[in-house]
Amino acid sequence: MAKSAKHDIKRLEKKVTSISKALANLNSADDFRKLILEWRRPGWTTPAEFLLVSTILDSMAAHVDALADMKAGLIKGSRAVTGG
């Protein structure tokens, strides 16, 4: 029988706090507002650059959706463990 690993809840708390802070830092509306203003400047881009930026934004959106699903699963699974 495998030895039971000690549960370090504080380590999990630090991880989730770190993730929460990182996501909050990514969510700077001012950065995105500035991006949009740049894009509206005359002569901003070539068709190739537009494709590159559009592809990156599609990927970012897919990652955001995946993170939202993972967070929901984490919360649901954690509640299921405790019957909550």
Convert the pLDDT of each residue in 30-75 to its tens digit.
999 999 999 999 989 899 999 999 999 999 999 999 999 999 999 9
What per-residue confidence (pLDDT) applies to 4?
A: 55
Query: Could you state, in order of their start, the residue ranges of all structural domains in the chain?
Result: 45-84
Of the pLDDT bands very low, low, confident and very high (cuts 50, 70, 90), residue 12 is: very high
Q: Is the pLDDT of residue 1 over 50?
A: no
Average pLDDT over residues 1-6: 58
What is the SS3 assignment for 28? coil
Q: What is the pTM of this model?
A: 0.78
Least confident of 1-5, 19-23, 41-45: 1-5
Helix (H) or strand (E) segment spanning residue 3: none
Distance CA 69, CA 73 (A): 6
What per-residue confidence (pLDDT) applies to 3?
A: 56
Which one, of 81, 59, 74, 77, lies nearest residue 16 by Cα? 74
What is the SS3 assignment for 80? helix
The three-point CA angle 68-71-80 to 5° equals 135
Query: Phi and psi for 58 in degrees, rounded to 5?
Result: -60, -40
Contact present, 45 and 53 (Cβ < 8 Å)? yes
